[in-house]
Structure 1
Amino acid sequence: MSVPVLIVSGPVGVGKSSVAHEMFDQLIDRDIAHAVIDLDAFGISWPYGEGDPYNERMALRNLASVWANYAASGVDRAVIARVVEAEADLAAYREAIPGAEIQVCRLVASAGVLTERVRRREVGSSYDVLVRRSLELAESLEVSGPADFVVETSGRPLAEIAVEALTKAGWI
């Protein structure tokens, strides 16, 4: 069975989680069965695996477990918010979601917008690290990040961004 999967990728602060949650509303409005999974939450545990600084393996193991529950309840497609840095990383998503037909939507925003969003959101110890990581990711994803299509998020309403991405993916 084929499972459409739309991964919303991009640097820290670009709006992955917010856009994915807006996609949830847009798909509900169209009566399209789906799950929205903010994969960052699935990897929040300590200690991280050796050689896995972003706890990717834990997040993907948890994705496989949760996906089995969604599939058993009739959910037949998924929106996943998570940075995907390389095409090779998609194999683990295909393993976690059997039959996954993956599209990657890379969200982009200017460096100033990314920095401002991180500043507004991160008030704790991680601020400097996350700003630095955001700008590094923006650059590296531009060069080598997988993307079936790109959507600009700067200065745009969430609904507009989500509808553009879902339309480009062929879901609406």
Structure 2
Amino acid sequence: MLRSEVLFIGGRSGVGKSTAAEALHDLLVAADVRHVVIEGDALDLAHPAPHVEHPEAHLAERNLATMWARYRELGHHRLVYTNTSSVLLQDVLAAAMGDEPLVTAVLLRAGDAATADRLRRRSGGRLPVAQSEHSTRTAGRLDTAVRGDVARVDTDDLTPEDVARRLASLTGWLSPRPDVD
């Protein structure tokens, strides 16, 4: 069985994580590269928030473990995982996968103007001040807290396809990797 590989894509709200993952998916499909895309936000999205009400439950990690095991049974070994703080939790998330994956972690970054514009488009033209301020605080926290081995990609002037090509380059998934495959 091939060794698992995971690409963790993190970054503030509005930086383009989901859009970049979709563009990477399209790029990998075009090259016929087997892979899985999981939106980490959906693994514990509930009200009340499980991580607040029951932090000991580790619901996102448990759900990832279950989902990844099913994909592995089907022969997949490459995972694209998006979540704001995935780049801070890469060790915990990789451990949840259960098979010591080769990890690539990327922090997507963008300035306040670019993210505000993206968030405005996503919300239909209106951007709540609290959402904008939260995104800015998160950007600062992520940029200072990520480890040195986390790649940083500035997305301000890049198309989603440009970001996807950079992500593909960082993982090497479009090139043969004899040490992994």
Quick one: distance in 1 between partners of 2:76 and 2:125?
Answer: 36
- Alignment partner of 1:3 is 2:8: no
- TM score, norm. by length of structure 1: 0.86
The offset of 1:59, in angstroms, is 2.0
- Alignment partner of 1:24 is 2:14: no
Quick one: distance in 2 between partners of 1:79 and 1:85?
Answer: 11
- 1:9/1:58 Cα in 2 relative to 1: closer, same or farther (>3 Å)? same
For residues 75-86 of structure 1, what are the structure 2 equivalents within 5 Å?
75-84=76-85
The offset of 1:43, in angstroms, is 1.7
In structure 1, the residue matched to 2:64 is 63
Unaligned runs of 5+ in 2: 175-181
In structure 2, the residue matched to 1:91 is 91
- 1:41/1:78 Cα in 2 relative to 1: closer, same or farther (>3 Å)? same
- 1:52/1:156 Cα in 2 relative to 1: closer, same or farther (>3 Å)? farther
For residues 1-172 of structure 1, what are the structure 2 equivalents within 5 Å?
2-49=3-50, 51=52, 57-84=58-85, 87=88, 89-98=89-98, 99-122=100-123, 127-146=128-147, 148-172=150-174
Q: Which amino acid aligns with 1:10?
A: G
How many residue pairs get matched?
Answer: 170
- 1:5/1:160 Cα in 2 relative to 1: closer, same or farther (>3 Å)? same
Q: For residues 119-172 of structure 1, what are the alpha-carbon distances to aligned partners after superposition, in whole Å with 9 as ceiling and x for unaligned?
A: 221359994432222101111111112452111211322111100121022222
Q: Which amino acid aligns with 1:15?
A: G
- 8 Å CA contact retained: 1:8, 1:82: yes
Quick one: distance in 2 between partners of 1:52 and 1:90?
Answer: 23
CA RMSD between the two structures: 2.6
Q: Which is higher, the Rg of structure 1 or of structure 2?
A: 2
Aligned identity (percent) is: 26
- 8 Å CA contact retained: 2:87, 2:106: no
Unaligned runs of 5+ in 1: none
Q: Secondary structure at the match of 1:6?
A: strand
The offset of 1:42, in angstroms, is 1.6
Spell out structure 1 runs of 4+ moving beyond 6 A: none
